Amino acid sequence: MLGQFPRLLSYLKPYKKRVLLAVILLLSISFTPIVLPKLIAYTIDTVLPTHNSVALFHVFLAIVAVYAFRGVVSFWLNFTIGWLGQRVVFDLRFQSYRHLNRLSLAYYDSRQTGKIMARLMGDIDFIQQMISNGFITFLADMLSIVVILVVLFMYQWKLALVAVAGIPFYVINFKLFIRHIRPLSVELRERWDAMLGVLQEKLAGITVVKAFAREDYEIDRFMQTIQDNFNIGMKQMKLNRKLGSIAQVIRAIFTGLIIWYGGTLILHHHMEIGELLAFSALVNQLYDPAVRIVDFNVTVQWTVSAMQRVFETLDTRPEIVDAPSAIALRQMHGGVEFQNVFFGYERGQEVLHDISIKVDPGQVVAIVGPSGAGKTTFVNLIARFYEPSRGRILIDGYDLKKVRLESIRRQISIVSQESLLFSVSLKENIKYGFHDATDLQVVQAAKHADMHEFIMALPFGYDTKIGEEGIKLSVGQKQRMSIARAAITDPKILILDDSTSALDSKTEANVQAALEYLMEGRTCFVIAHRLSTIMSADLIMVLDAGRIVDVGTHEELVAKPGVYQSLYNEQFRSATEDGLEALLS
């Protein structure tokens, strides 16, 4: 269970000196809690009865000195601990994020963004709390228990035995209740999440609720979930309070016992009243640390599972890394060749089967096929988001695996159906493809994408922010923004993955014009459903169930029976025939 712990400790290693400092500081203030009761006892038992006002003034000075010492040391200690926790968090986060960026797309395919974020933020925060609070509190508790016990036994061992006898009751009471409370907390958490789920779903899907007029039904369902929350919340409170109440009574019984037995001891002159007062003050500092120590393993368990999640991310090996001997392909021409490429996302499930195709620089290739045929997978392999399980992909005759990843991706641009833009200014979004671009180049790219006039009409022009705090762009505008972003990189290979299918026809015409401009003189791979796009391609590649079933020009393919012909017939004939009649009439 503690397997991850040494690894966490290794994060503290660079800060060995500060850790050592913290330990020394901790040791040096651990005796301060016992000083004050002793001084009070001394005052009551010795100073006051003897009317020694000089000694009284010394007590005054001593108390001030102890507090001053304690203040300085504890500030230093807490600051050091806080710093250590924050620093380790920073290191862990930095490492995790850097690692996340190295991981290949396959990692992201199988995980939700929310979960990755939870690791990066929540889990790492938890570890920080563990370092800053959990560990130190544990150490401090251990120390203070030992010191207090030693002092108590030195005062009066019989009385100390009475005090110690209370601890087991206290701890057992805690253990008995907590066993039932913890599962309830987990359940409460689950119910709460369930409630959030219902809310999220039904508020996001409000159109469905309203369309079926299911408002009352939904209110009832929601009531059920919050009623569940209510019931468990009450149950948990009851158990918590019972635990607290019994603990309170146990403490009172033992404090009472100590006073009674201590008083008897005073009567027999085995002890003095000040000592008894100091004793009972010290005993009070014994119970809570004892429970915290007993409960420490739970904190450890939580931390370990948080650590496991974080380290799991760190231990995932990126699938795609540059070979040590990889060369940088500075000037790409854009020739692409697939040689007997096989690929599957999961073992035993082949998505691409024995793909071989050769594309010359500057050619436009249309990829056609039913959904699930492997079209997107095919283009993803060109950008080396995934590695073929067999076969080779060559760019300008170089094996993709032997070329530096970055140098290739810089020269390939993808415009996909969903345009993902960032919440920064329009200019920065366009420059995302090429950070060193000049303003002139940005304007040019925007012009190519037919966005320049729109942008200039905005009050802040290119510095207008988009996203939540800025303006909202329409789907067509977003699409043209991502075209501008692709244009500025001057890619040699352009991949258009269903770039226009979510647009209506008028918007599409605009975007199409921008795309055609962008496609000029580059090798292009186009996944599209529109006949006009497909027909103007130099080469049409028909995929079905991961295999290339046909390659050729439109004229060649439409002439022979096959997948393309039937696709073509299915989608376009009825429409075109009708149109033809109208056109010919």
Partner 1 sequence: MRNFLRFLKEVKSYWRLLVVISVLTLLTSALSLPPPYLIKILTDDFTQKHLSANLPHILILIFAAYVLLASSSAITGYWLSYCITLLGQHFKMDMRKKLYAHMQTLSLGFFEKSKTGKLMSNITNDVATLDQLISGSFVNVLQDSVTLIAVIFILFKLDWRLSIVALSVYPIYIANYLVFIKRIATTSASVREQRETIYGDLQEKLTAVQVVKSYARERYEVLQFTGETRNLLGLNVRATALSTGLWTLAEFIGGLGTAILIWYGGLQVMQGRISAGSLMAFYGYIGGYLYQPTLRMIQLNDAIARTNAALWRIFLNLDTKPIVTDKLDAKPMPAIRGEVNYEDVWFEYQQDQPVIKGVSLHVEPGQMVALVGASGSGKTTMVNLLQRHYDVIKGRITVDGLDIRDIKLASLRTQVGVVIQETMLFNTTIRENLRYGRLTATDEEIEEAAKVANIAHVIEALPKGYDTLLGEDGVKLSGGEKQRIAIARAILADPRILIMDEATSSLDSETETLIQEALDRLMAGRTSFVIAHRLSTIVKADKIVVMESGVIKEMGSHHELLAEGGMYASLYSQQFKVALEAIAAQNELAGEA
Q: Near partner 1 by CB under 8 A, which window of 89-97, 183-191, 295-303, 335-343?
A: 89-97
Rounded-to-integer distance, Cα 144 and Cα 141, Å: 5
Q: Does 11 bind partner 1 (CB under 8 A)?
A: no
- Binds partner 1 (CB under 8 A): choice among 422, 460, 516, 521: 422
Question: Smallest distance, Å, CB 303 to partner 1?
Answer: 19
> CA-to-CA distance for 315 and 305, rounded, in angstroms?
15
Shortest Å distance, C-beta 340 to partner 1? 25
Residue from 53, 110, 325, 349 touching partner 1 (CB under 8 A): that is: 53
How distant is the alpha carbon of residue 248 from its chain centre?
A: 41
* Residues from 489 through 518 that contact partner 1 (CB under 8 A): 489, 501-509
In angstroms, give the least distance from the CB of 250 to partner 1.
9
Contact between 579 and partner 1 (CB under 8 A)?
Answer: yes
Position 245 contacts partner 1 (CB under 8 A): yes
Query: Quick check: helix, strand or coil at residue 12?
Result: coil
- Considering only 74, 137, 285, 565, the residue that binds partner 1 (CB under 8 A) is 74
Q: Which of 2, 9, 219, 321 binds partner 1 (CB under 8 A)?
A: 219
CB atoms within 10 A of CB 134: 20
Q: Which of 23, 140, 143, 246 binds partner 1 (CB under 8 A)?
A: 246
Q: Binder to partner 1 among 49, 168, 183, 521 (CB under 8 A)?
A: 49
Nearer to partner 1, 120 or 300 (CB): 120
Beta carbons of 303 and 130 less than 8 angstroms apart? yes
Shortest separation between residue 119's beta carbon and partner 1, angstroms: 11
Q: Is the dihedral of CA 237, 168, 135, 143 positive or negative?
A: positive
Q: Rg (Cα) of the chain, in Å, rounded?
A: 36
Identify the DSSP state of 582. H
8 A C-beta contact, residue 365 and residue 359: yes
CB of 356 to partner 1, least distance (A): 24
Range list of H helices, 327-383: 375-382
CB-based burial, 210-229: b 16+ in 10 Å, e otherwise: eeeeeeeebeeeeeebeebb
Binding mask 348-387 for partner 1 (x = CB under 8 A): ----------------------xxx----------x-x--
Specify burial of residue 87 (Cβ count, 10 A radius: 0-12, 13-18, 19+): middle
Q: Which stretch binds partner 1 (CB under 8 A): 285-293, 295-303, 306-314, 570-578?
A: 570-578
Q: Residue 491: which of 483, 499, 500 has the closest Cα? A: 483
CA–CA dist 356, 337 (Å, integer): 7
CB of 297 to partner 1, least distance (A): 27
β-sheet with 547-552: strand ranges across: 412-416, 493-497, 523-527, 364-368, 539-544, 547-552
Instruction: Compose the 134-173 pattern: x for residues touching partner 1 by CB under 8 A, - for all others.
Output: ----------------------------------------
Rounded Cα–Cα distance for residues 547 and 534 (Å): 19
Strands annotated E in 315-399: 336-343, 352-359, 364-368, 390-395, 398-399
Find the part of the chain contacting partner 1 (CB under 8 A) among 41-49, 135-143, 289-297, 335-343: 41-49
61 contacts: CB under 8 Å, gap ≥ 6 = none
Question: Alpha-carbon distance 198 to 218, whole Å?
Answer: 9
Annotate each residue in 429-448 with x if it binds partner 1 (CB under 8 A) or - if it does not, as one string.
---xx-x-------------
Residue found under tokens 């269970």: 1
417 binds partner 1 (CB under 8 A): yes
- Segment near partner 1 (CB under 8 A), from 4-12, 134-142, 294-302, 563-571? 563-571
Q: How far is CA 341 from CA 245, 366, 370, 396, 527, in A?
A: 71, 19, 20, 17, 19
Q: Taking the CA of residue 473 as centre, how many other CA atoms within 13 Å lie in the half-sphere pointing to its CB?
A: 27
- The answer to whether 285 contacts partner 1 (rule: CB under 8 A) is no
Residue 17 or 268: the one with the smaller Cβ distance to partner 1 is 268
Q: Shortest approach of partner 1 to residue 2 CB, angstroms?
A: 27
**Is residue 118 near partner 1 by the rule CB under 8 A?**
no
Give the binding range for partner 1 (CB under 8 A) out of 182-190, 386-394, 437-445, 526-534. 526-534
The reply to whether 414 sits near partner 1 by the rule CB under 8 A is: yes
Are β-strands 493-497 and 412-416 bridged in parallel, bridged antiparallel, or unpaired?
parallel
CA 299, CA 158: separation in Å to the nearest integer? 35
Among 1, 54, 154, 267, the residue binding partner 1 under the rule CB under 8 A is 267
Any contact of residue 529 with partner 1 (CB under 8 A)? Answer: yes
Segment interacting with partner 1 (CB under 8 A) among 181-189, 229-237, 333-341, 344-352? 229-237
Shortest Å, Cβ 245 to partner 1: 4
CB of 63: closest distance to partner 1 in angstroms?
Answer: 4
String of contacts with partner 1 for each residue 390-409, x by CB under 8 A:
---------------xx--x
Pick 196 or 456: Cβ nearer partner 1:
196
Q: Using CB under 8 A, pick the residue from 19, 21, 40, 164 that binds partner 1.
A: 40
For position 10 contacting partner 1 by CB under 8 A, the verdict is no
Phi, psi at residue 88, to the nearest 5°? -65, -40
Please pick, from the candidates 7, 175, 179, 238, the single residue that binds partner 1 as defined by CB under 8 A: 238
327: Cα separation from own chain's centroid: 34
180-199 footprint of partner 1 as x/- string (CB under 8 A): ---------------xxx-x
Binding partner 1 by CB under 8 A: which of 44, 142, 293, 549? 44
495, burial (CB in 10 Å: exposed 0-12, middle 13-18, buried 19+): buried
